[in-house]
Structure 1
Amino acid sequence: MQQDILINWSPQETRVAVVEHGAVQELHIERTLERGLVGNVYLGKVSRVLPGMQSAFIDIGLERAAFLHVADVWHRQDNGEPPAFARKNGEPPVPIEKQVFEGQSLMVQVIKDPIGTKGARLSTQISVAGRLLVFLPQDDHVGVSQKIPGAERDALRARLQALVGDKASGGGGGFILRTNAEESTDAELAEDIAYLRKTWARIKEASLRLPATSLLHQDLDLLQRVLRDLVGEGTQAIRIDSLEQFQRLRAFGQEFMPAAAAKLQHYKGERPIFDLYSIDEEVAKALGRRVDLKSGGYLIVDQTEALTTIDVNTGGYVGARNFDDTIFKTNLEAAQAIARQLRLRNLGGIIIVDFIDMVREDHQHAVLSEFRKQLARDRVKTMAGGFSQLGLVEMTRKRTRESLAHMLCEPCEACQGSGQVKTARSVCYDILREILREARQFNPREFRVVAAPQVVELFLDEESQHLAGLSDFIGKPISLQAEGGMVQDQYDIVLL
């Protein structure tokens, strides 16, 4: 799949769009003041151990304590057995209270950014990513990416094992060959091995020198990760609109990733780079609930704390010969659109897709097959089940950072994130009840209602009779004051 990568850089924010056939497929944003933590290595301090949850809270110097689960605790066995977090023959791992204790200093790595009210998730197994390899310094395993065909994997593993060597020869450590290293030479691999071992030596040295809660190692910034993680064989060009960052990125790429650096271009056009493919418009659409399909159908995307639901509707599409074909074609188009929206919005966790009900099993199989095919293009790990008894497709997508909506938006002050506010009439009736309640407790000269203009307008028009009736009943005048800064369901009752 041919793609272009566009980079819009400013001192406060870096935005990267991956475009295929003129359509935005992925959007990555990194803000200088809100840079992600995944990959960072810290010298943490155990602040609390929770045996009941088999987890611990670790202070790594952030606002919220980070979270370490027993499944993420690396513990090498002296008898050559697998690490404690790897269950063997159904046996439970070693309890966390026997592995860590309060006040202990512990080297940890962030594997999930803080999301919402949850702190960062940690692991004690450290991995350092390079251009071609991932280094696992606490391990001795040498592996090859699952995406590389099986026939080539054994040969690549043997090559890598020879380059890594063993502890006796001053080598050792675990390495995983990344997908983009399939065609690399021994010299390139040896260079990456040396770079990763040098990085690990710096991390170890810092852990002995710095106090607890210190940052020992920071992962590459978004610009550098573009070359390391996003560039592939199908990438035609990487265009960046900042000359200074272009030069910095080219220097970094020529040293570590010459093939990727060769695709770098400095964009000099007068139009903003994101205007080339209307990317800002796509971002605005990705923040909305409704996604229109070309056929006339549409999706409704609702994101909550627990899960994300996606509902497919035929809308105005009536183009097929019969109703079954209309539903089938809408669902096929939706399968492609949903996979793209997951990438674009960076939705993670549990996702429930409600395709339009299909009677024919061959239609169900075809839609599910197309959906899984589109999900396979995702860089992030996904798992999708079949149709449930209720006709729903349940899936998961690994969540490592905030979704696009959570990064760019915040809950509405008026509705507190519910997406709804009370009608003006409901607010009027709330005010009438509140005045009656206040009149029973206090004896002011007058009640003054301060409310949004649309509420005051309703009191002066359709609800004037009810307001006058209440005034007669309590024997006090009620005056109205419109306040333009108030939202519809806000009001104040002033006792004069």
Structure 2
Amino acid sequence: MLSLYMFFRGTEKVALTVKRGQVQEVFLDRPGMDSKVGSIFKGIVRHVDHGLQAAFVDFGDERQGFLQREEVPACKQDQSLRIEQAIREGQTLFVQVQKDAYGTKGAKLSAIITIPGNALVYLPNGNYVAVSRKLPEERAAKWKEQMTDLLTPGEGVIVRTEADKLPEEVLLEELERLRGKWHTLSVKNAAPPAVIYQDALIPDQLLRRLPAGHLDEIVVDDGFEARQIRQQFPELGEKVRWERGAETLLPQPLFAIWEQLVAPVTNIDRGITLHIDQTEALTVIDVNSGGYTGHSDKNQTAVMVNQLAAKAIAREIRFRNLSGIILIDFVSMKRSDQQRAVLQTFRQALQQDTQRTEVYGFTKLGLLEMSRKRERPSLMEQLQAPIHKNLSFETRCFQLEREIISLSPEKTYILSGKMEHIKHFLKLTGCNSANAAVFVKFQDTNELKLRETDTETVRRDGLDSLDNLF
């Protein structure tokens, strides 16, 4: 049974999917960190790069968005057309965010606009018809023919799997509704750069992303939002219910789930642990077999550990929303057939993921390479405070020693800090003040500070010399 829980009673919106008492995925929508994916902007082309065959578009974000040639309608339709022949600098252009800005990179944009519905996705300038790969070939061909007849020149549409379960008149109504929606958006008199449409992650994107047939219930903590969902998604109406105390129905409190999401180590089974390290460039997952002793044959034990880990890693990737480049360091396996067995287990486990994933195989060093489409920040990025990796205390002590050695013998100085820190400094370096006069002042501060003073201050405060201390 797959349950979707949505929490609206607060500034931050939260959604979770739960299956067999285990949280599968978590979605956050909070001010300042909300995803722009799916939102449409009226932007200004600031620069067209002939070498990159891409353009940089000002759409109102801190950084300009990146528009590749393949995402320009005219270039999509004519493969020989260069981007500078299709758009020009200073031009006003409708763009849609495909991928949020990340690190120093701006958002990835597309000028091929998509207006999503429940069963159809309308492309006002797409000029093609596509059908879900999950539909049989005969049904796909039928839908392509029908939709082509309904579209005007330049229009496009994507037929989703859900369309095959609905009457044709319902789809025609949806197509007209999506057309009208785009017309209303496109004639908005907003000076660029400006947002003309925002696609909310919760509930809009989420309910379109999760197949209606897979959801058994939708639990909402707000009565008004429950009614809105029933109106906007009538096919889900019977599955939606309002529960004021919805959080008490979760397997764990939200705060406990947050702690799991940011924990660098995850215990999975029989002493096996996963160590997960996220960086801006990639994510590294290390499998530690711990005290697992499941088989007398070491090679067979490695395979068993890795197969258990592969299933858990697939779950953690979804649970934490890990994306981009991911490297997995499984327990070392000697034979290629063992690697293939683990690879098969891992690929099967990833089939439940609605995000696009690519598994490339093992490197010569035995690391498994994969990637996962990035649309929004990982949950660790959203939940965890930035980590500032300062220099170690020992490093600062050795630097302080060098400063003291080079002090002028004609001046007087004060070294201030906690007593235990100054004791540690002296024990570590055996430092003396050489020719300079250095006195010590104990203060409740986490840093050791060296500053110039005068002899009058030293006498007034009764300070001891660093050389005679302890």
Deviation at 1:58, TM superposition (A): 1.1
The 1-side partners of 2:278 and 2:163 are apart by: 37
Counterpart position of 1:147: 134
Matching of residues 167-186 of structure 1 within 5 Å: 167=152, 173-186=155-168
Q: 1:24 touches 1:279 (CA, 8 Å); kept in 2?
A: no
Distance 1:41 1:66, change over 3 A: same
Q: 2:33 touches 2:382 (CA, 8 Å); kept in 1?
A: no
Deviation at 1:402, TM superposition (A): 1.1
Q: 1:432-459: per-residue Cα shift (whole Å, max 9, x none)?
A: 212223x13x743232233x67523414
Q: 1:97-124: per-residue Cα shift (whole Å, max 9, x none)?
A: 3333221111111111111222211111
Deviation at 1:480, TM superposition (A): 4.0
Q: 1:362-396: per-residue Cα shift (whole Å, max 9, x none)?
A: 33222111111111211111111222222222111
Counterpart position of 1:83: 77
Deviation at 1:279, TM superposition (A): 4.6
1:187 aligns with 2:169: yes
Q: 1:40 touches 1:110 (CA, 8 Å); kept in 2?
A: yes
Counterpart position of 1:210: 190
What percentage of residue pairs aligned between the two structures are identical? 31
- 1:63 aligned counterpart, secondary structure: coil
The 1-side partners of 2:344 and 2:419 are apart by: 54
Q: 1:456 touches 1:480 (CA, 8 Å); kept in 2?
A: no
Q: Report the residue type matching 1:173 in the other structure.
A: E
Q: Report the residue type matching 2:416 in the other structure.
A: V
Distance 1:121 1:172, change over 3 A: closer
Q: 2:422 touches 2:448 (CA, 8 Å); kept in 1?
A: no
Q: 1:143-199: per-residue Cα shift (whole Å, max 9, x none)?
A: 21113343532234344445xx243xxx87211111232312212211211111111
Counterpart position of 1:435: 404
Deviation at 1:17, TM superposition (A): 0.7
- 1:233 aligned counterpart, secondary structure: helix
Deviation at 1:45, TM superposition (A): 0.8
Q: Report the residue type matching 2:98 in the other structure.
A: I
Matching of residues 112-131 of structure 1 within 5 Å: 112-131=99-118
Deviation at 1:401, TM superposition (A): 1.3
Q: 1:19-60: per-residue Cα shift (whole Å, max 9, x none)?
A: 111111111101134321111111111122333333222111
Q: Report the residue type matching 1:305 in the other structure.
A: E
The 1-side partners of 2:192 and 2:294 are apart by: 65
Counterpart position of 1:479: 440
Deviation at 1:289, TM superposition (A): 1.9
Q: 1:66 touches 1:121 (CA, 8 Å); kept in 2?
A: yes
Give the TM-score taking structure 1 as reference length: 0.85
Consecutive unaligned residues in structure 2, runs of 5 or more: 454-470
Matching of residues 310-389 of structure 1 within 5 Å: 310-389=285-364
Q: 1:3 touches 1:18 (CA, 8 Å); kept in 2?
A: yes
Q: RMSD of the alignment, in Å?
A: 2.4
1:458 aligns with 2:424: yes
Counterpart position of 1:79: none
Counterpart position of 1:94: 81
The 1-side partners of 2:143 and 2:255 are apart by: 42
The 2-side partners of 1:166 and 1:225 are apart by: 25
The 1-side partners of 2:172 and 2:252 are apart by: 40
Give the TM-score taking structure 2 as reference length: 0.89
- 2:93 aligned counterpart, secondary structure: strand
Distance 1:19 1:275, change over 3 A: closer
The 1-side partners of 2:264 and 2:346 are apart by: 20
Q: Report the residue type matching 2:237 in the other structure.
A: A
Deviation at 1:338, TM superposition (A): 1.1
Counterpart position of 2:228: 248
Deviation at 1:322, TM superposition (A): 2.5
1:135 aligns with 2:122: yes
Q: 1:425 touches 1:455 (CA, 8 Å); kept in 2?
A: no
The 1-side partners of 2:378 and 2:294 are apart by: 35
- 1:301 aligned counterpart, secondary structure: strand
Counterpart position of 2:368: 393
Counterpart position of 2:238: 262
Q: Report the residue type matching 1:266 in the other structure.
A: W
Distance 1:198 1:443, change over 3 A: farther
The 2-side partners of 1:242 and 1:322 are apart by: 56
- 1:187 aligned counterpart, secondary structure: helix
Distance 1:444 1:113, change over 3 A: same
The 2-side partners of 1:98 and 1:455 are apart by: 66
Distance 1:387 1:477, change over 3 A: closer
Q: Report the residue type matching 2:398 in the other structure.
A: Y
The 2-side partners of 1:389 and 1:477 are apart by: 57
Deviation at 1:216, TM superposition (A): 1.9
1:236 aligns with 2:216: yes
Distance 1:279 1:329, change over 3 A: farther
The 2-side partners of 1:221 and 1:401 are apart by: 10
Deviation at 1:323, TM superposition (A): 1.7
The 2-side partners of 1:297 and 1:37 are apart by: 38
The 2-side partners of 1:361 and 1:212 are apart by: 56
The 2-side partners of 1:179 and 1:277 are apart by: 33
Further displaced range: 153-162 or 279-288: 153-162
- 1:111 aligned counterpart, secondary structure: strand
Distance 1:212 1:477, change over 3 A: closer
User: Which of 248, 266, 279 lines up with 1:291 in the alignment?
Assistant: 266
User: Which of 448, 462, 477 lines up with 2:415 in the alignment?
Assistant: 448
- 1:272 aligned counterpart, secondary structure: helix
Counterpart position of 1:492: 449
Give 4+ residue runs of structure 1 displaced > 6 Å after superposition. none
- 2:112 aligned counterpart, secondary structure: coil
Distance 1:481 1:245, change over 3 A: farther
Deviation at 1:360, TM superposition (A): 3.7
The 2-side partners of 1:453 and 1:151 are apart by: 81
- 2:5 aligned counterpart, secondary structure: strand
The 2-side partners of 1:308 and 1:351 are apart by: 5
Q: 1:132-151: per-residue Cα shift (whole Å, max 9, x none)?
A: 11111113322211133435
Matched residues, number:
453
